[in-house]
Structure 1
Amino acid sequence: MTPGETPPAPNPGEDLLWPGPATVRRGPKPRFTVAQIADAGTRIADAEGLGAVTMQRIAHDLGSTKMALYRYVPGRAELDAVMLDRSFGMPRPQHDADWRRALAAWAEGVHARALAHPWSVELAQRPHRPGPCELAWYEVGLAAMADLELHGGEKLDVLALLAGHAMSIVRQESASAAPEQELAASMQRIFTTRAADYPLTVAAFSDPGGARGDALRFGVERIVAGVEALAASRREG
């Protein structure tokens, strides 16, 4: 901390994701903002993985001390929450009148954001309270289904299915550029010598058709088709 700096008053219960009205503070302007600290953590996570992110490392990169940063961010849980929400960013509004294409675009957007920050998948799958950016994604996804004969909880489940599928693909892609092909190649010797034990599996891996290499699109289309069938059954009922 620089000499003469007046840090924010310590407040472990302060909600960093949903701050109240700004408080006018006396003295010099604080050296850092919560966003700057979270963005420093994001740069480290992008380069070296989530495990490399510590308050000590962030303080070093910002030219500060760990204890000084605790005046802005009370702990790691709060830091993770802000990093996750900022990794989502604000979604693009969907203007497609076809809800199927709008939902597909929503899922592709989630995939793109998570792929840009693969560590966010781990944070998103931990129990957490959504921040403003994440709730904005909810709003866009729910808007696409506004006219469907589904209950609110069902619509939320649809978004959970789409997001979960998109993030599972990110997990695979962040580990390998072509996960399905690499798995098949690594299993080739076993498939050759043990084909009689696993005939259906060998046949499936040997079939060049289907959605191989495009699992994101295939899964999204199947989820959307299921939603369409459910909505149609409600209309008919």
Structure 2
Amino acid sequence: MTSDFLWAVRAQPTRGPKPALTLDRIAEAAVAVADAEGLAAVSMQRVAADLGFTKMSLYRYLPGKAELVALMVEHAVGAPPELDPADWRTALRDWAHHLLAAYVRHPWALEATVGPRPLGPHELGWMEHALAALSGTGLSGTERLDTIAVLSGHVRMIAQQAAAARHPDAQFSAGITAALTGHADRFPALAATMTAAATESGHDQAFEFGLARLLDGLHTLIRGRTPSKHKGRAPS
């Protein structure tokens, strides 16, 4: 799939008439549709109509819908965050938090970022920054890639829950409690755990808990390679 249009420098002309449309305007209109109605509502015709142009006008700027969606991802998710180069653990934690925030703002991006598709500099930049944080840790190339895959998978899972409910962990817990009513004797371990969790602080924090455990495991792996050379705070 061609993605040249995602990499082109979008310089504004200094002379002559301004172009009727720009890729940024197209992206903004398409993102607005997806934010309000979901990715399925996005089409070349719909976006063109919202901009006051014909469908054929958009084809002067984009080859088709796949490229439109790629442009939307670049625009909505944006450039990767700056990370702390001195501490891989802090860097990856911040990376995961920023990625989750992007998905929560634009839930349709979860669907838009799977499978073969055109890739732009922003999306590759997110990978670059995360992998750069792991340079010098002693992890192999495969392990570094797998680390990012596991972290992004955790982020995506929580974002999917957030897309279904404003407070996904709390609502899921409430659903379990309701289902257990009158049936606690059939599921004694689950009932006892739910009762205990209801009185404990720090519950309904699946994202933070899972992220911390992933980073703990990574810390152990890295420390086992060359203990004296690698930073990253030990689990407290």
What is the distance in 2 between the residues matched to 1:173 and 1:21? 34
Deviations 1:54-106 (A, max 9, x none): 21211111000111112211211111111112222112211352211111011
Is contact 2:2–2:118 with CA below 8 Å preserved after alignment? no
The counterpart of 1:221, out of the listed 176, 198, 212, is 212
2:188 match: 199
Name the CA shift for 1:134/1:65 in 2 (closer, same or farther; >3 Å).
Answer: same
The counterpart of 1:98, out of the listed 67, 72, 87, is 87
1:66 match: 55
Larger mean Cα displacement after TM superposition, 48-57 or 59-68: 48-57
2:135 match: 146
Is contact 2:44–2:65 with CA below 8 Å preserved after alignment? yes
The structural deviation recorded for 1:196 is: 2.3
Note the aligned Cα RMSD (angstroms): 2.4
**Any stretches of 5+ residues in structure 2 without a counterpart?**
228-236
Give SS of 1:186's match. Answer: helix
2:222 match: 231
Mapped pair 1:78 → 2:72: no
Is contact 1:87–1:114 with CA below 8 Å preserved after alignment? no
Is contact 2:3–2:67 with CA below 8 Å preserved after alignment? no
Deviations 1:144-197 (A, max 9, x none): 111211012211111111112112111111221222222232333431222222
**How do residues 121-200 of structure 1 correspond to structure 2 at under 5 angstroms?**
121-200=110-189
2:231 match: none
**How do residues 3-22 of structure 1 correspond to structure 2 at under 5 angstroms?**
15-19=4-8
TM score, norm. by length of structure 2:
0.84
Is contact 2:66–2:117 with CA below 8 Å preserved after alignment? no
TM score, norm. by length of structure 1:
0.84
Name the CA shift for 1:150/1:210 in 2 (closer, same or farther; >3 Å).
Answer: farther
**Any stretches of 5+ residues in structure 1 without a counterpart?**
1-11
What is the distance in 2 between the residues matched to 1:55 and 1:161? 34
